[in-house]
C-alpha cells in the first residue's frame, strides 16, 4: 500500500499563511501612512493644499498627526487590508486544523486574497495576493489521502 496524496493540505496552508501575513503587513503599512495624513488623495489634514499625491483636501479635523485626523484613503484601505489579511490567516489556520472542510476554507482564502488588491498595497505588495490565490486554489483542489493496494 502506498499513499497517493498527502493527508493534509500542507502546501496550501503554508502558501496561504505567508500570503495572509504579507497582506496584513501591507495593510498595516498603508494604515500607518494614512494615520499621519499622507493619504493618496487627501492632503496634509483638513487644512490641505499641501501634501498628498493629488494635492487635495484632507478629511480630518486638523493637522494630520492623529489616529483619525486626516486619515484619508491610505488609512481606510489600510484598515480594510488588515481585515482581509486576518481573514486569509484565519482561513489558512482553519484549513490546517480542519482539512475535511478544505473547500470552504480554500474559497475564503481565495476570495479575501483577491479582494486584498483593493485594500492593502496591491494585495500585500503583490506577493500576498499571488501566494493567497495559489494557496486558495490548492486548498480547493486538494483531495484527501487514499490508499492504493498493489
pLDDT digits (tens, 9 = 90+) for 56-83: 444 444 444 444 444 567 778 888 999 9
Mean pLDDT (whole number) for 94-110:
96
Residues 137/40, Cβ–Cβ less than 8 Å: no
State the cell numbers at 58.
Answer: 484632507
Highest mean pLDDT, choosing among 65-74, 116-125, 126-135:
126-135
**Which residues are paired to 3 by β-bridges?**
147
> Does pTM top 0.85 for this prediction?
no
In this predicted model, what pLDDT tens digit does every residue of 8-59 receive, in sequence order? 899 999 999 999 999 999 988 888 876 655 444 444 444 444 444 444 444 4
* Closest C-alpha among 97, 89, 93 to residue 116: 89
Cβ neighbours, 10 Å, residue 50:
9
pLDDT at position 1: 43
| Nearest alpha carbon to residue 66 among 84, 87, 44 | 44
Which band of pLDDT confidence, cut at 50, 70 and 90, is reported for residue 145?
confident
| Residue 83: per-residue pLDDT | 94
- Contact yes or no for 88/16 (Cβ under 8 A): yes
Amino acid at each position: 500500500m502506498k499513499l497517493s496524496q498527502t493527508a493534509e493540505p500542507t502546501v496550501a496552508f503554508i502558501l496561504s499563511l505567508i500570503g495572509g501575513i504579507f497582506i496584513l503587513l501591507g495593510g498595516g503599512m498603508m494604515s500607518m501612512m494614512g494615520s499621519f495624513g499622507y493619504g493618496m488623495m487627501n492632503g496634509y489634514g483638513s487644512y490641505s493644499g499641501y501634501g498628498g499625491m493629488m494635492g487635495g483636501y484632507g478629511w480630518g479635523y486638523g493637522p494630520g498627526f492623529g489616529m483619525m485626523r486626516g486619515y484619508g484613503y491610505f488609512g481606510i484601505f489600510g484598515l480594510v487590508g488588515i481585515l482581509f489579511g486576518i481573514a486569509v490567516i484565519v482561513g489558512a489556520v482553519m484549513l490546517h486544523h480542519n482539512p475535511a472542510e478544505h473547500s470552504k476554507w480554500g474559497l475564503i482564502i481565495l476570495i479575501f486574497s483577491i479582494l486584498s488588491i483593493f485594500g492593502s498595497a496591491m494585495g500585500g505588495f503583490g506577493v500576498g495576493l499571488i501566494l493567497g490565490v495559489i494557496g486558495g486554489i490548492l486548498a480547493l483542489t486538494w483531495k484527501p489521502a487514499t490508499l492504493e493496494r498493489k
